[in-house]
Structure formats: structure tokens, C-alpha cells
Amino acid sequence: MNWYEIWTELWPTLIAIGIILAVVPVVGLYATFVERKLAAAVQDRLGPNRVGPFGMFQAIADGIKIFLKEQIIPSHVHTFVYMLAPCISLMTAMFALVVLPYGPTPVNYDGGLRFVVMPGLDISLLIMFAISSLSAYGIILGGWASNNKYSLYGAIRSCAQFISYEIPMGLSVIGVILVAGSMNIETIVASQSSGDGISGWNLWWQPLALVIFFTSALAETNRLPFDLPECEQELVGGFHTEYGGIKFVLFFLAEYTHVVTVSFLTTLLFFGGWHFPGVPSEVTASYGILALQMLVLLVKVCGVVCFIMLLRWALPRFRFDQLMGLAWKGLIPLAMLNLVFLAVIESLEWHRWPLAVLSVVLFVAAGYWSAWQSQSFVRKASVA
């Protein structure tokens, strides 16, 4: 292998890395802007509208302001870990994007322009989950190093939440893996292609898995209604109470990167990635078609991001025992049952339509069971 060959393999990777490094902070900044606008709309306000047309430059102004802030390190913190935590947080969040295709990528990639840093990786979904689990470290270390009980509470809550919700998330994704027969995200997307571009989406076969996955993913991003690690009313600011300026921004950026990652995963795994009616499903070398497919993917992702932001204003926060109960008593048994039935149906090589029925039946059954349990649960008034 000579230098030329190395270079031809290297440059698409460098470009992909460069795009992620350049785009993610901007997306993070503008996600805050969009979120503020959306929040304002839901609350009958106008939102930021003073800086630039429609307040477009508010995000930039915020960025400049927060980067120029004085760097304060409280005297009571463990300085090294305190500085390390936000870096870990952002690094793991960005690292998870390595295997995410942000544009149409063929299953068998062989050189040329591409939209993923590591194409053709057989275990890309596994790597994705392995790395995103690491982001708990940033929060836990940050909470511990702050030497503040509220920060530590937030970190411990976050730890418990991460551990609990990893399970239903993994279980619901195994269904997708079984259906596609691969852990490669590109293969999973390719397996959702069909003639009309919409009937092949995993959404139709596994609505229950989608609900479970999306709920657990929301919990993983620490966003409402699962933002217990940082809920202001109970824990001041949670794990980032002692952080200010650029260190806070790193945590913040990590959270928004998670939101973007989760939206990408939801789109790629359940909403057919770049497949859409009227758009060619084959990944070709034609730039026009590539751009169209990329547009489809990004529009879907933006839709999911907006949905996550909307959920924030539609739902109240869970209590912590409710949060744990939802994961362990609701989502995990449901995901397991769904997985078992799905495995049976896939191994018998039946048609897939019973899967959709199964999802609905399981969901309704869970609702009935939950209601029945609530109705029949009479607490004994014991005095002793």
C-alpha cells in the first residue's frame, strides 16, 4: 500500500470528520434558537427576535457572549476531573456520530464521496450504543467533581436512569436488527427500501418497538419529560450547577448532540432513512439524486428534533419512582415480549403483518394490565 492509496482512503474520512466537527456546534447553537422559538410559539410569545432578521443571529450572539465569559473554577472542586467531565461529555456525544450516516450511503462502499466517517462497519449500531453509554461518565464525573450535593444527586439519578433505559432501548433495537439481519446501519436502512418507498419502513412492522425506543432514547438524552438529572426545581441545576461559561456550553452542546443523534437513529432505524415515495431508493453516483436523498433524510431528522422539542412543552416531568417504574415494569417486559414474538415470527419466515398486530395487542394488553393493577390494588391499612 503506497501513500497514494492511503490518501485516497483518507480524504473522504477527513472530509466526513471535518463536516461533523464543523456542523455539530452550529447545529447545537441553532437548536437552542429553534427550541426557544418553538417554546415561545407554544406559550403564545414571540421568542428572540431582536438580533438580525427574525432573531436569526441570536444563537451567534449567545455563543460569543458565553465564550467570552470569565472562566471560574470553584475552589472546592476536584479541578482535574471537573475540567475533564465536560470534555468527556462532548467527546462521547460527538464520537457516537462516527457511525451515523448523515446522507445516503451504499451498503458496499468502495471509495469516493461519502456521508459517514466509518462506512461498512458490521457492528456500527453496537458501537453507537457502546459509545453513547459512555456519555454517562461525563455527567457522573461532573457531578462528583463539583463537590456539591445537588450535583451529585443529579449525577446519581442520571446514572440510574442511564442503566435502566439502556435495557429497553437495546431490546427494542434488537427487533430491528433481527428484521434486517444486520447490525450495520446502512444495511438496516437498505432493508427498509421498497418499490413505493414508504411501505418498507420498520415503523409499520414494529410500532411498539418505535415507542419503546423513542421513550428510552428521550430518557438517554436527559430531556423532558425525563430530565431528572438536571431538574431545576429540585436540584438547582443538577450535575452542571457548578459549571459556567464554556464548560457549561460543552455540556449543553453534548445534550443537543444527543438529541440530534437520537433523531438520526430514530429516522434511520424506523422511518426508512433516505427512502421516501418518489425518491429513488438506490444510492447512485448521481449528485442530484444524492442531494435529494440527503434532503429527505435531513427533513425527517428535523421533524423528529422538532417533535422532541414539542414534547418538552406537552408533558410534565416524571417523578423518579415513576421513571424507574416505567422502565422496569413497563418498557422492559413489553420490549422482551415483543422481541420473543418477533423472533418466533421471523424464524418461521411468516409474513410480517402479524408483527404490527402483535405490537398493538401487546400495547393494549399492557394498558389493561396497568389499569387492572391500579383498580385492584387496595392497600392494607396496617397500623403495626
Residues contributing to the site for other proteins (CB under 8 A): 38, 40-46, 211, 310-311, 313-315, 363-364, 366-368, 370-371, 374-375, 377-384
- What's the CA gap between 162 and 139, in Å, rounded? 11
Q: Between residues 57 and 248, which has the closer beta carbon with respect to other proteins?
A: 57
Nearest CB to other proteins, comparing residues 41 and 72: 41
CA atoms within 13 A on the CB side of 256: 20
Q: Is 115 exposed, middle or buried (0-12, 13-18, 19+ CB in 10 A)?
A: buried
In order, the DSSP letters of 28-46 are HHHHHHHHHHHHHHHTT--
Minimum distance from CB of 234 to other proteins (Å)? 20
Shortest distance, CB of residue 55 to other proteins, whole angstroms? Answer: 12
- Grid coordinates of 105: 450511503
Smaller CB distance to other proteins: residue 60 or 366? 366
Residue 3 CB, nearest approach to other proteins (Å): 55
Nearer of residues 1 and 378 to other proteins, judged by Cβ:
378
Comparing CB distances to other proteins, the nearer of 67 and 372 is 372
Minimum CB separation of residue 8 from other proteins in Å reads 48
219: closest CA among 229, 204, 208, 233? 229
Report d(CA 325, CA 72) in Å as an integer: 39
Please give the single-letter amino acid code of residue 1: M
CB of 30 to other proteins, least distance (A): 19
Least distance in angstroms from the C-beta of 307 to other proteins: 8
Give the separation between CA 239 and CA 81, rounded to whole angstroms.
13
Nearer to other proteins, 82 or 318 (CB): 318
The cell numbers describing 80, all together, are 482535574
| Residue closer to other proteins (CB basis): 134 or 324 | 324
CB of 219 to other proteins, least distance (A): 14
Helices (H) and strands (E) in the chain, counts: 14, 0
Report the C-alpha dihedral over residues 72, 78, 81, 86, rounded to 10 degrees: -30
User: How much is the CA Rg of the chain, to the nearest whole Å?
Assistant: 22
